[in-house]
C-alpha cells in the first residue's frame, strides 16, 4: 500500500467515498431506460428518475449538494445514508439494480456497475471498520474498474471538471 494512502485522514476517505457514491447514483439514474421498457416499476425509482436530469452534466451538477453533504459525514455509513435518504435507495439496492439482466445489450447502465457498487459496499464497511489494508486496496482498485464506457477514475475526473450549480 502506498504511503499516501496510509496518510489519508478519515475525512479524506469519506470525501473520496462520497465522490464514488455520487458516481454510482449518477449512473443509477439510467434506470429510466428499464422503467420505460417495462422491466421495472417507476415508483421504486422515482427519486432517481425525477430527481436528476437525463443530461449527464446537469445530473452531476444536481448531485453536487448531496455529494458535498456526504463528504462532511462522520462515517461512510452516514455518507451513504445521505444519498439513501435523497434517493430512497441503498448501495445494496444499487447492486441489485445493476445486476438486472435487463441491462444486457443496453447502451446505458451496465452489469459492470454491479461490481463497482459491490466494491463500494465493501469500501463502506472497510472505512467504518478501520480496515486500513482493505481501504487502501479498494482505493487503488476503484479508479481502474471498468464500466460501460471506460474506467471509473476517468469518469470521475471528467465529471469533476464540471462547474457546480451556482
Helix axes 10-28, 76-87, angle to 10 degrees: 30
> Helix, strand or coil for residue 125?
helix
**Which residues of the chain are under the pLDDT cut of 70?**
1-8, 105-110, 163-166
**What pLDDT shows up at residue 107?**
65
> Helix, strand or coil for residue 146?
strand
**What pLDDT shows up at residue 1?**
44
**What pLDDT shows up at residue 5?**
47
pTM, entire model: 0.89
The candidate with the shortest Cα–Cα distance to 118, out of 140, 142, 82, is 142
Amino acid at each position: 500500500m502506498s504511503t499516501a494512502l496510509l496518510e489519508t485522514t478519515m475525512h479524506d476517505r469519506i470525501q473520496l467515498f462520497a465522490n464514488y457514491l455520487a458516481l454510482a447514483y449518477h449512473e443509477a439514474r439510467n434506470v429510466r431506460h428499464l422503467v420505460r421498457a417495462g422491466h421495472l416499476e417507476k415508483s421504486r425509482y422515482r427519486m432517481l428518475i425525477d430527481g436528476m436530469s437525463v443530461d449527464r452534466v446537469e445530473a452531476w451538477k444536481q448531485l453536487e449538494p448531496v455529494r458535498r453533504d456526504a463528504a462532511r459525514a462522520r462515517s461512510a455509513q452516514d455518507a451513504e445514508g445521505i444519498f439513501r435518504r435523497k434517493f430512497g435507495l441503498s448501495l445494496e439496492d444499487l447492486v441489485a439494480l445493476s445486476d438486472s439482466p435487463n441491462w444486457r445489450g443496453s447502451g446505458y447502465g451496465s452489469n459492470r456497475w454491479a461490481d463497482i457498487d459491490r466494491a463500494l459496499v465493501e469500501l463502506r464497511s472497510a472505512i467504518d471498520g478501520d480496515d486500513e489494508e482493505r481501504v487502501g486496496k479498494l482505493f487503488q482498485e476503484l479508479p481502474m474498474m471498468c464500466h460501460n464506457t471506460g474506467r471509473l477514475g476517468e469518469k470521475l475526473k471528467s465529471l469533476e471538471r464540471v462547474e457546480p450549480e451556482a
